[in-house]
Amino acid sequence: MSEIMETLIRRGFLWQSFEIYGGMAGFIDYGPLGNGLRRRIEDLWREFFVVNERAVEIDTPTVCVEDIFIASGHATSFTDVAIECKKCGRVFRADHYIKEKLGIEADETIESVKEIVESFDLKCECGGEFDEPKPFNLMFETKIGPGKGKKGYLRPETAQGIFIAFKRLADYFRDRLPFGVAQIGRAYRNEISPRQGVIRLREFNQAELEFFVHPKEKTHPGFDTYANDRVRLVDKNGNEYDLTLKEAVEKGVIINQILAYFIGKTRRFLLKAGIDDARLRFRQHRDDERAHYASDCWDAEAFTSYGWIEVVGIADRGDYDLSSHSRFSGEDLSIFVPFSEPVKVRRKKIIPKMNKIGPAFRQKAKKVVEMLSSIEAKDADYVELDIDGEKVRVDREFFDIQEVEEEIHGEKVVPHVIEPSFGLDRITFAVLEHSFDKDIVDGEERRVLRLKRWVAPVQVAVLPLLSKGDFEAKAKEITVMLKAAGIFTEYDDSGSIGRRYRRFDEIGTPFCVTVDHQTFEDNTVTIRDRDTTRQIRIGLDELIPALKELLSTEKDISEFGVIFKE
């Protein structure tokens, strides 16, 4: 672990934030290479979950008013249990501290934590006793505006902005389900005691897709694309399976087809980003760990030096969010879904007696008539209406009940939401760790990042064989040419050619282009492959199309020229 982190820090992938002021746990800086890698992973995510899905991408504020999180449940339910030392004052996240010190998986409840602390006489690292366990809300609180302002929070997830904009989005999609809405951006969680570097951050990057579906149709037209993919699954009871997604749905291991679809799509995305399939699994949440809004949830977990870490959560949120925001805001967040053919139904209907309602209810008469006409008829002596906050009793003498036959052309439904939520920082770190390798080249140990070509932050390095005017000028000319073609290229003339190769191997650059003596004889250069160190010679007029094809595929360089150096 220390060897990997030393490389990432030294080479400009990740740094500690606020370093010259002593740093602060839970915050990191992305250096030039780390930022480039994460951005390429984001672009790959868009390819999978926006471009190749019935989805759009939006961008909403990171600061949100309190009302949103009261409705969503975060104001009361988004908590961890904290324990504070009476002696030194340090505060720990209880379940993490208990697991670290005792190896016990604690339920995330105050009662469970209290019982374990007392039973095992658990002490702080300083030897002090802990105070009573307390809930700690993980949201960062802020004030919006001057003076007393309006209470707000930094968003703990990007999802809520999508739910708030649902009416506009449904209109954009012409109320036709299913459809997806994606958002990539920063989210914030005031973690109690983050101790795992890039794994547990207080400010982090998320990519989320909210996929809105009909409550009775949890299928996906693209399921066949992934149906035969074999996936490693661990259910909520700890049972392990090696099944195709089709088998997992048929056996009830995964409860519906659309969850299986997004598990399949997520797996392929992670593999293309550079996660090792042998170190990837999908684990179902236990009943006691599932979020308050989820009816089911599966985590994509990658094995790293920190153990198994969650990199993606795929949740069936049901209609929790839209129903809750509808209730708190008073806005109708349902969608009218037309039937393929009208359906005839018989029902009882209230027929208001206009000549009696007018004189009896005066100013309220219009609203009484409207409400009587809209509610379901029941055989009762009276109905009670809520008119402007006032309970109004309407006796049977003011209306008749008739049985009528009507044509129903559709129904109003509150869509359910399937949410694949991606932790981009964790994915980036897992890709780096899974790509880190060492081998022996020319009798020396070499560190190499075997990044997928399409996510490498530096795609090509152009190197003059000698630090001489003609060599340098030609190499710089080629660098400009490759950059103009949209290939992220770096020029380097510092040190021996072997040392420069090692430098770019270590940051994951797939190909090095070298200007040598023969370049001035026949207008050719060499292309060196990072993973095999083999080289071919190619004409400058063929260089750009060859590199573009190599960078977007896993083709061997031998397909573009004769290997002349192993």
* Structure confidence at residue 185 (pLDDT): 97
pLDDT digits (tens, 9 = 90+) for 406-420: 788 889 999 999 999
Same domain assignment for residues 160 and 281: yes
Task: Output the CA torsion sign for 86, 88, 92, 95.
Answer: negative
Query: Residue 13 in contact with residue 30, Cβ under 8 Å?
Result: yes
- Of 137, 161, 182, the one marking the end of a domain is 137
Same domain assignment for residues 40 and 185: yes
Res. 340: pLDDT tops 90: no
Same domain assignment for residues 40 and 183: yes
Pairing label, strands 230-234, 280-284: parallel
- What is the domain extent for residue 496? 458-565
| Domain assignment present for 327 | no
Instruction: Please state, rounded to an integer, the average pLDDT across all residues of the chain.
Output: 93
Question: Which CATH number covers residue 152?
Answer: 3.30.930.10
Res. 380: pLDDT tops 80: no
Helix (H), strand (E) at residue 231: strand 230-234
Of 94-108, 146-160, 248-262, the one with minimum mean pLDDT is 94-108
Three-state DSSP at 201 gives coil
Mean local confidence (pLDDT), 48-55: 97
Same domain assignment for residues 301 and 393: no
Task: Output the CA torsion sign for 452, 454, 458, 463.
Answer: positive
Rounded CA-CA distance 444/471 in Å is 27
Q: Report residue 171's pLDDT band, with 50, 70 and 90 as the boundaries.
A: very high
| Domain assignment present for 333 | no
Query: Residue 222 in contact with residue 241, Cβ under 8 Å?
Result: no
Q: Which residues contact 326 (CB under 8 A, 6 or more apart)?
A: 332, 333, 334, 414
User: Could you please report the per-residue DSSP string of 170-204?
Assistant: HHHTTT-SSEEEEEEEEEE---SS--SGGGS-SEE
Mean local confidence (pLDDT), 363-372: 87
Query: Residue 297 in contact with residue 313, Cβ under 8 Å?
Result: yes
Quote the number of domains for the chain: 4
Helix axes 2-10, 424-435, angle to 10 degrees: 110
pLDDT digits (tens, 9 = 90+) for 509-538: 999 999 999 999 999 999 999 999 999 999
| Domain assignment present for 557 | yes
Pairing label, strands 91-93, 79-84: antiparallel
Rounded CA-CA distance 555/529 in Å is 11
Question: Which CATH number covers residue 394?
Answer: 3.30.720
| Domain assignment present for 62 | yes
Same domain assignment for residues 379 and 367: yes
Same domain assignment for residues 92 and 196: no
Which residue's structure tokens are 């005066």?
362
Res. 318: pLDDT tops 80: yes
Same domain assignment for residues 356 and 251: no
* Structure confidence at residue 1 (pLDDT): 65
From residue 280, give the alpha-carbon distance in Å to each of 16, 218, 270, 457.
27, 25, 9, 23
* Structure confidence at residue 230 (pLDDT): 98
Report the share of the chain in percent with pLDDT over 70: 100
| Domain assignment present for 453 | no
- CA-CA-CA-CA torsion for 224, 227, 229, 233, nearest 10 degrees? 150
Res. 144: pLDDT tops 80: yes
| Domain assignment present for 334 | no
Mean local confidence (pLDDT), 388-393: 84
Mean local confidence (pLDDT), 115-120: 93
Res. 566: pLDDT tops 90: no
> What are the tokens at 248?
């997992």
Rounded CA-CA distance 137/510 in Å is 45
Same domain assignment for residues 269 and 363: no
Res. 352: pLDDT tops 70: yes
* Structure confidence at residue 268 (pLDDT): 98
Res. 493: pLDDT tops 80: yes
How many residues can be counted in the chain? 566
Query: Which residues sit opposite 84 in a β-bridge?
Result: 91
Same domain assignment for residues 100 and 68: no
Query: Residue 520 in contact with residue 474, Cβ under 8 Å?
Result: yes
Res. 67: pLDDT tops 80: yes
pLDDT digits (tens, 9 = 90+) for 192-215: 988 777 889 999 999 999 999 999
51 secondary structure, DSSP code: I
Same domain assignment for residues 175 and 92: no
Report the share of the chain in percent with pLDDT over 90: 79
* Structure confidence at residue 288 (pLDDT): 80
| Domain assignment present for 361 | yes
| Domain assignment present for 519 | yes
Which residue's structure tokens are 């999978």?
48
Pairing label, strands 55-57, 179-188: parallel
Same domain assignment for residues 93 and 111: yes
Query: Residue 437 in contact with residue 529, Cβ under 8 Å?
Result: no
- Of 137, 152, 171, the one marking the end of a domain is 137
Query: Residue 21 in contact with residue 392, Cβ under 8 Å?
Result: no
Same domain assignment for residues 208 and 74: yes
